Structure 1
Amino acid sequence: MPSDSAPALALSLGEPAGIGPDITLMAWARRTAATPPFCAVGDPALLAARARLLGLDVPIREVEIGAAAATFHTALPVAPAGPRATAAPGRPDATSAAAVVTSLDVAVDHVQAGRASGLVTAPLAKSVVYAAGFPFPGHTEYLAARCAAPDGTAPHPVMMIWSPRLAVVPATIHVPLKDVPRLVTRALIVRTGRILARDMIRRFDLSRPRLVLAGLNPHAGEDGTLGREDEDVLRPAVEDLRGEGIDIRGPLPADTLFHEEARATYDAVIGPYHDQVLIPAKTLAFHDGVNVTLGLPFVRTSPDHGTAFDLAGTGRANPSSLMAAIALAGRLAAADRRAGLGAAA
């Protein structure tokens, strides 16, 4: 059972017109003794109104975030942040962007100050925040900038999609497929592999994580006959990582990496591009996959889905991925505390 002596997780509510408020309420309503305490950061009135719309008996209590863990067992704690969010379910309005960005800013402030043990983010609508001048492609790049050193040096964030059945890392994320061969460099694979291995040891309690690297080309290039990238870029990167003591194999043909017997031989897969590893991850764990940002000085997780405007306010949203994100964030934050790491250690 989680200890109330540890700070609660900070949960930024994401897009007010999306399902973020719905699944936050549902996650609290379905909490168990093992659920890590979390505190919503945003507009308490929005959550109260959405609870009434959904017919959920979820008491809302405004708190200072430091008191959230003690409050969590009897009410959903909410640390007020940002302007009143007036958007109706499925219809973002002019208040949405400010509500999203302020909720995120304040939640990160709480985590960096040690008032919260980790960050969980509900989905945002990129088109909404872009129109309001949000200068980052998404949460990941924003969080890296928030963790920049005084000289401007920012950490290299690595996206992992995790579930008990499969953990995958795309080396490149939201880029056109035609750009992938140029962007997948030896240095990128080495840096990604280092961060993945380090965080799996530090936060996932694996003494020697077993990694594999998927090939870029069909059959991992077939010894160079189907493209030279696997031989000239990926294989040397694997040799570099093995030289550093990291247990990694590859490049291996991606089409034989994801069946049950193959998955038993490794702990995580690095893939050169997004769909190569996210398709199998979402096929195997669509409702309980978790997006984890590795490489940051604090824990950050999120559900592995978007705002689902068509489901907002209907009661049909599935909170399983958010509940998995909360559970994993609590587990990883506890690992940080045991190691004396992180802002809240």
Structure 2
Amino acid sequence: MIPRIALTPGEPAGIGPELAVKVAQQGSAAQVVSIVDPTLLYQTAANVKLPLQLLPFSQDAPPSSTPPGSLYIKEAPMAAEAQPGVLNPANSPYVLKTLEMAAQGCLEGSFDALVTGPVHKGVINDAGIPFSGHTEFFADQAGVERVVMMLTAEELRVALVTTHLPLKEVSSAITENRLIQIIHILHHSLTKQFRISAPRIGVCGLNPHAGEGGHLGREEIEIIAPTLEKLRAQGIQCIGPLPADTLFTPPQLARCDAILAMYHDQGLPVLKFKGFGKAVNITLGLPFIRTSVDHGTALDLAGSGQADSGSLEAALSQAIELAKRQGA
């Protein structure tokens, strides 16, 4: 099987286009189709002094591997010329259009998976377009109620109950229904996509010391622990709720196939410390495979030629592996 992978470079003023050009240098056993303005990639390649050939893409032709120094291309025109490091709200609709084209291509079966470069949420919102992130955007495109953000670095997998929420809103967002939905999605993905027959999920408490018996908060007693009991009765191995500061230690991690953190900055600092620049963001619960880089647009590096493509390489490799498993 030769998977067909959609690649969106993301914010045109960031490092995404440079990462796409760098990944292209290696070639791929998959057909990597970048959804992008071709001028942007050619200008980027010239700027960083790397060769690039953009090959015409036809979804009616059988997929073929991607030669070194090349990418297949599905064109999407920018509204304005991009300057490295300089955000332009005029190009925000273009960024979202590339994501929409990629998602729809996956939903229609034109692509086997989607890999995304970094976008800049701030400039999209500055353009007057409500946008909280890739994860929520693709959930809306696919018409699914709930998806799960999970990042991986080597053997560590960290999923999130809440994603891009202000900290003051996290507690009220942690409900029995939400936990049940998210843990079912996580369990299903670990079983079906990662081929773990009986996954063990370590669950963080919300409060310091997992609430310390109610003295530091009652969310564990009133919501998290009773919900985990119900899930265990259904045969799902949930360990916890446990204090996050000790759950992320080697003896505890050895007991778990994945960790479920209650909020963004509870789980992701540990994962990014372990594997920043090589970690992969995976959206679980979509009807298609989506992986992404673990970092932002790095505007200060844009155009310098110094951007590290390791995370995009890892995201592409993970997408190909998952697509092959799905097609097997």
Same-fold status (TM-score > 0.5): yes
Structure 1: stretches of 5+ with no match in the other structure: 149-153, 339-345
Q: Name the SS of the counterpart of 2:240 in structure 1.
A: strand
Partners of 2:190 and 2:199 within 8 A in 1? yes
Match for 1:11: what amino acid?
A: L
Which residue in 2 is equivalent to 1:100?
Answer: 95
- Equivalent residue in structure 1 for 2:201, among 198, 203, 211: 211
Match in the other structure for 1:151: none
Match of 1:27 in 2: 23
TM-score, normalised to structure 2, is 0.94
Aligned match of 1:310 in 300, 303, 310? Answer: 300
- Residue deviations 1:57-78 (CA, integer Å, cap 9, x gap): 2222232255584251252211
TM-score, normalised relative to structure 1: 0.90
Contact 1:210 1:247 in 2 (8 A): yes
Q: Which residue of 1 aligns with 2:110?
A: 115
Q: Give 1:261 shift.
A: 2.5
Equivalent in 18, 22, 41 of residue 14 of structure 2: 18
C-alpha distance in 2, partners of 1:313/1:125? 16
The DSSP-based 3-state class of the residue aligned with 1:120 is strand
- How many residues were matched structurally? 327
Aligned to 1:55: 49
Contact 2:279 2:293 (8 Å CA) reproduced: yes
Is structure 2 residue 177 aligned with structure 1 residue 182? no
Structure 2 residues not aligned, in runs of 5+: none
Measured against aligned partners, the alpha-carbon deviations of 1:58-115 in whole angstroms (never above 9, x if no partner) come to 2222322555842512522111123365111111335421321221111112111111
- The residue type equivalent to 1:111 in the other structure is C
Q: Which residue of 2 aligns with 1:342?
A: none
Deviation at 1:239, TM superposition (A): 0.5
| Aligned equivalents of 2:67, 2:79: Cα separation in 1 | 26
**Residue number among 35, 53, 64 corresponding to 2:58 in the alignment:** 64
The sequence identity of aligned pairs, in percent, is: 39
1:246 corresponds to which of 236, 248, 254: 236
Task: Give the equivalent residue in structure 2 for 1:167.
Answer: 157
Cα shift readout 1:241-297 (whole Å, capped 9, x = no counterpart): 111111111001111111223221111111111111011011111111111111110
Contact 1:43-1:85 at 8 Å conserved across structures: no
Amino acid at match of 1:56: L
SS at structure 2 position matched to 1:277: helix
Q: 2:33 aligned with 1:39, yes or no?
A: yes
Select 2:211's aligned residue among 221, 235, 247. Answer: 221
Q: Answer whether contact 2:282 2:290 (CA < 8 A) is retained.
A: yes
Residue aligned with 1:77, SS: strand
What is the distance in 2 between the residues matched to 1:229 and 1:93?
42
Q: Secondary structure at the match of 2:307?
A: coil
Q: 1:71 to 1:329 in 2, by over 3 A?
A: closer
- Say whether the 8 Å CA contact 2:79–2:91 is kept in structure 1: no
Range with bigger deviation, 23-32 or 265-274? 23-32
Q: How do 1:285-304 and structure 2 match up within 5 A?
A: 285-304=275-294
Aligned partners of 1:42 and 1:82 also within 8 Å = yes
- Residue-by-residue CA offset, 1:217-240 (whole Å, 9 max, x unaligned): 222122223222111111011111
Secondary structure at the aligned position of 1:308 is classed as coil
- Cα separation, 2, equivalents of 1:294 and 1:104: 17
Deviation at 1:10, TM superposition (A): 0.3
Q: 1:330 to 1:96 in 2, by over 3 A?
A: same
CA shift in 2, pair 1:263/1:68, >3 Å: farther
Per-residue deviation, residues 128-185 of structure 1 (Å, max 9, x unmatched): 222333333121111111111xxxxx33011111122311112111222222222211
